[in-house]
Each structure stands twice: as structure tokens, then as C-alpha cells.
Amino acid sequence: MSEQGRVINYGDAGVEALRDEMRRDPSIVYIGQGIGPRGGNFRQTRGLWKEFGDDRLRDTGICELGATGVAIGAAMAGTRTVIDEVFLDFALEAITQIVQQAANISYMSNGKIKAPVVIRGAMGAVRNAGAHHSHTFYNWFANTPGLKVVLPSNPYDLKGLFKTALRDPGPVALIEHKSLYNAKCVVPEEEYLIPFGEARIVREGKDLTLVAMSRMVDLATKAAAVLEQEGVSAEVIDPRTIVPLDRQRITDSIKKTGRLVVIDESPSSCSFAAELLAIAAEDCFDELQVPPQRINSLPVPNPFSPVLENQMIPSVERIVGEVHKMMKSSRRKA
């Protein structure tokens, strides 16, 4: 990622990826609620309906189960589709189609039928939306064989990963974070693709490894900056896609630093953080100097009160605090 060039936000980067790909591949059809003339609840399809019209930007009634099945069935028949669940929470209405049909179809058909569908939804806490509009259950998807899971943490990655998703044999769950839509960074206008399964070293460090996904990458980076002031050098890694996972790059970093902290917005039990700790135990046991740690949201429904929700979700302070404890604890091995 470069420091110089055109700066746009996450929402615009997604629109740009879609526009490019819909121009390149006339078979792509986009299905969802409010994604036509309205341009998307999160402005995530703004301007596209004007260019591509009703045939390719298909507004539906409020029927996530039906519409998701329709998108999957169209994909099985050879039309590349995007189903925009808008809030990832609403994908729950359609979970049977995603898990039972889309994810299983390649295997069940012995590879004869593919479902080139992108299941798009925005997750996570933003502006105290409360329990029904804040879920982050990407770990469920990651535990579903046959589904790829993409978690863009910034506009640059969103553009490159979305374009890759729109060329993948699928199905791909592209999960954005609601509170990132206004995040900005340099995004080249030119075409680029980011392959799945390639983690990004957000910043290099030597004392410990912070692995974070989606919005938590920003928190980890801020925590690393604070720690740097104190003389602690943290490496920050963003897997970008958790299925497939760049196990190599992550374990290389853990082996190098000997310390791992994972920051994950889902609750800890059976979370993706738990998976990363298991990987560290399997692959880096000898190199780990202290037990690896995970920082997750507390296992409660998202509370409405800002005070309570802030308490629930990982914060820069919590990350820095955990790292302090970890750095103080004695080395397991010399």
C-alpha cells in the first residue's frame, strides 16, 4: 500500500470495484434491498443503478431467504451474482441457503456445479445499533467447508479483494465493517487484484505479533503506535481472508517474535481468535515465549448503551493493557 496517490473511502472503494467488474463482466447481477435507485443503505452501490439499470441491479422486497436462494440458484446456473444482505445480521434469515446450498454445492456435485456468488454484508458495532444490527459471526462462516471468508480492513484491500471475489468460482462471503465505510486511504484507480490467502504485514515489529481482522486492525495499529512510544515493537498482521488463511505468514511472524495477541470483535469462545491460538500452539509451540492471548468482545449481546458497548468491544487501551501484562510476564524459555 502506498502513501501517495488518490485517497478515497471504503464505501467508494467498494463501488469502484463493483463498477469495474460489472463493466468487465456483463453477466454479473447484483441483488439486494435498496441497492438500486437508492444506492444502498450504506451508499455501497451509489451510482451503479444509473449505469447498469434494473436488469443488473435488482431490488427485492424484504425476503432475504428467497433472494439469497435466488442469487445462489442463478449462480449455479451460470450467472455470477452478488447478494447484498446489507446488514450481515440479515444473512441469518438466509443462513440455510448459504450454508446448506451454496457452500455444499461444489462438493455435493463432485465439482460439477459451482456457485459463483458473493454474499455481501456489513458487520460489527457502529453507533450503538444494538443487539439486532451489530453481529460479527464471520467465525461461523469460517467453520463452514466450502465458503471463503473475506474481511477487508481498509479501502485498498476492499477494492482488490472484492474484485478477486467477483472472479472467484465462489461462494465468497465478503464481510465489510459498518464503521469502516468512511475510513480513507490511498487507492489506485488502476486495476489490481489481491489474491485470497495472502495476509498483509501492516507494520513490522520484533517483540510481539498482533493479529487482527477487519476494524480491529485499526485498533491494533493504534495500540502498536502507543507501544512503540514505550519501546515495545509490535508486528501487526491482517489475514485479510480467514478462509483461505495465510498460515505461513502468520506463523512466521509468531516464530520471529515469540509472542502472540489476537484481536477479534467476536466473542472468544470458538472464535477465530481461538483458531489462531490453536494454530500458534500447533506450529509455534517451541518458539512461543509466553502463552498466547486473545482479546475478544465480551460474550454478551451488543448492548445499546454507549458505555456498555464500549465496555464490550476491544479497545486500544485494552490491547495496550494486555500487552503490558504479557511483556512483564517472564519468559518461558531463555
Partner 1 sequence: MSERLVTERISPELLLTYYKKLLELRLFEVKVQELYRNGRLPGFVHLYVGEEAVAVGVCSNLETPDLVFSTHRGHGHALAKGVPTRIVLAELWGKATGSSGGRGGSMHMYAPEYGFMGTNGIVGAPIPLATGAALSAKLRKNHQVVVCFFGDGAVNSGSFHEAVNMGAVWNLPVVYVCENNLYATEMAFLRATKNTSVASRAAAYGLPGVEVDGQDVIAVHEVASQAIHRAREDGGPTLIECKTYRYVGHHEGDPGTDYRTRDEVQQWKQKDPVKIARKLLLDSGGSNESQLQAADQEVERLIDDAVEFAEKSPEPAADSVNDHVF
Q: Which residues bind partner 1 (CB under 8 A)?
A: 27, 29, 55, 58, 60-61, 63, 65-79, 81, 96-97, 100-101, 104-113, 145-146, 148, 169
Q: Which of 16, 21, 64, 322 is catalytic?
A: 64
Smallest distance, partner 1 to C-beta of residue 17, A: 21
Closest to partner 1 by CB, 96 or 305: 96
Q: What is the DSSP letter of 127?
A: T
Q: Which of 16, 21, 85, 133 is catalytic?
A: 133
Smallest distance, partner 1 to C-beta of residue 73, A: 3
Smallest distance, partner 1 to C-beta of residue 169, A: 7
**From residue 79, how far is each of 76, 82, 238 by CA, in Å?**
7, 10, 32
Active site residue 64: yes
**From CA 314, how far away is CA 96, in angstroms rounded?**
30
Q: Which long-range contacts (CB under 8 A, 24 or more apart) does 161-165 make?
A: 161/194, 161/196, 161/240, 161/241, 162/13, 162/14, 162/17, 162/18, 162/21, 162/118, 163/17, 163/20, 163/21, 163/191, 163/192, 163/193, 163/194, 164/193, 164/194, 164/195, 164/196, 165/118
Smallest distance, partner 1 to C-beta of residue 93, A: 8
Residues near 125 by Cβ (< 8 Å), separated by ≥ 6? 134, 136, 178, 179, 265, 302, 309, 312, 313
- DSSP, collapsed to helix, strand or coil, labels residue 271 as coil
Closest to partner 1 by CB, 9 or 106: 106
Closest to partner 1 by CB, 55 or 190: 55
Determine which helix (DSSP H) or strand (DSSP E) holds 209, and give its type and residue range.
strand 208-212
Smallest distance, partner 1 to C-beta of residue 58, A: 8
Cα 266–chain centre separation: 12
Closest to partner 1 by CB, 79 or 315: 79
- DSSP, collapsed to helix, strand or coil, labels residue 104 as helix
**From CA 14, how far away is CA 159, in angstroms rounded?**
6
> Hey, what's the cell of 268?
472468544
**From CA 222, how far away is CA 235, in angstroms rounded?**
12
Active site residue 265: no
Closest to partner 1 by CB, 244 or 321: 244
Contact 173, 150 (CB under 8 A): yes
Closest to partner 1 by CB, 80 or 259: 80
Smallest distance, partner 1 to C-beta of residue 219, A: 31
Annotated catalytic sites, by residue? 64, 133
